[in-house]
Amino acid sequence: MARELAQRGYGVLVVAERGVDDAVRQLREHTAAQVTGLEVDLALPSGVEAAVARARDLGVRTFVLNAGVGVHGPFLHTPLQDELRLVDLNVRSVVHLAHLVVPDLIAAGAGRIVVVSSIAATMPAPLFSTYAASKAFLRSFAWSLRGELAGTGVTVTTILPSGTRTPFFRAAKMERTHIGRAPKASPAMVARRAVEALQDGRAEVATGLQAKAMVAIARVLPQPARAAFHGWFYAPGAPPPSSPSAPATSSE
């Protein structure tokens, strides 16, 4: 997302818990944009407040709220602190940040907010319950905020990506699930569609055919069927066939 915005002429403030220096270096090497970095933990109120303070100093008028984590597994078997951190990062930080920056955008008479939800928002998700719920919250929150800001010059756009080729699945220990093994969208494509929707001020965009199909399926299935269908994606999947020209291998 940062690279796509930088290539379109935006100055960029990159905020994350780690890896910021490397991201800033790469963006400066491959774009002519002005790039600034800030390494803070957005799961903490102090991290959000530091990010907002830096954004105000730089006069930021476009916000991409994308920070998030996943916790995979049966709810009663996952560590409570991991689930609560997910809520703090995926949900609370977005509410906190929006509440601080929206008055500035209204006062300026212009602004763009992008909330990165997920196709997981469209259905309940056994084995991924808190994550799916957090993304459903974000989708509802973004649509509600968009309605409240109508006529102010500030738009809110919701992004519903499908599985995307990022370190997310490895970090969430989901590489052996059906969705972890499935083909995934290119991050560059997702970012391009998201920024196009941002610039057009659209309300919502599902990025890619898989995402659009999931949204359509969610509209017609009854809730129990949605939960069963969606839960299958997060269950362990059969390994892909091994190549006939090489011995099969496994890793832990």
Do residue 33 and residue 51 come from a single domain?
no
State how far the Cα of 112 lies from the Cα of 65, in Å rounded to an integer.
11
Q: What are phi and psi of 155, to 5 degrees?
A: -110, 155
Give the pLDDT confidence score for residue 49 in this predicted structure: 98
On whether residue 252 sits in a domain, the answer given is: no
Do residue 35 and residue 57 come from a single domain?
no
State how far the Cα of 173 lies from the Cα of 163, in Å rounded to an integer.
14
Residue 154 has pLDDT above 90, yes or no: yes
Do residue 35 and residue 159 come from a single domain?
no
State how far the Cα of 3 lies from the Cα of 192, in Å rounded to an integer.
10
Which residues form the domain of 7?
A: 1-39
Beta carbons within 8 Å of 115's beta carbon, 6+ residues apart? 65, 94, 138, 139, 141, 142, 156, 157, 158, 159
Q: Total structural domains in the chain?
A: 2
pLDDT band for 247, please (50, 70, 90 cuts). very low
Summarised one tens digit per residue, pLDDT across range 93-116 is: 999 999 999 999 999 999 999 999
Beta carbons within 8 Å of 232's beta carbon, 6+ residues apart? 178
Give the pLDDT confidence score for residue 240 in this predicted structure: 44
On whether residue 140 sits in a domain, the answer given is: yes
Give the pLDDT confidence score for residue 108 in this predicted structure: 97
On whether residue 251 sits in a domain, the answer given is: no
Long-range contacts of 58-61 (CB under 8 A, 24+ apart): 58/11, 58/13, 60/13, 60/101, 61/105, 61/108, 61/110, 61/111, 61/112
Question: Which of 38-42, 89-93, 243-247 has the lowest average pLDDT?
Answer: 243-247
Summarised one tens digit per residue, pLDDT across range 190-223 is: 999 999 999 999 999 998 777 788 888 888 888 8
- Beta bridge mates, 113: 63, 156
Give the pLDDT confidence score for residue 162 in this predicted structure: 85
Q: Mean pLDDT for the chain?
A: 90
Do residue 86 and residue 127 come from a single domain?
yes
pTM exceeds 0.75 for this model: yes
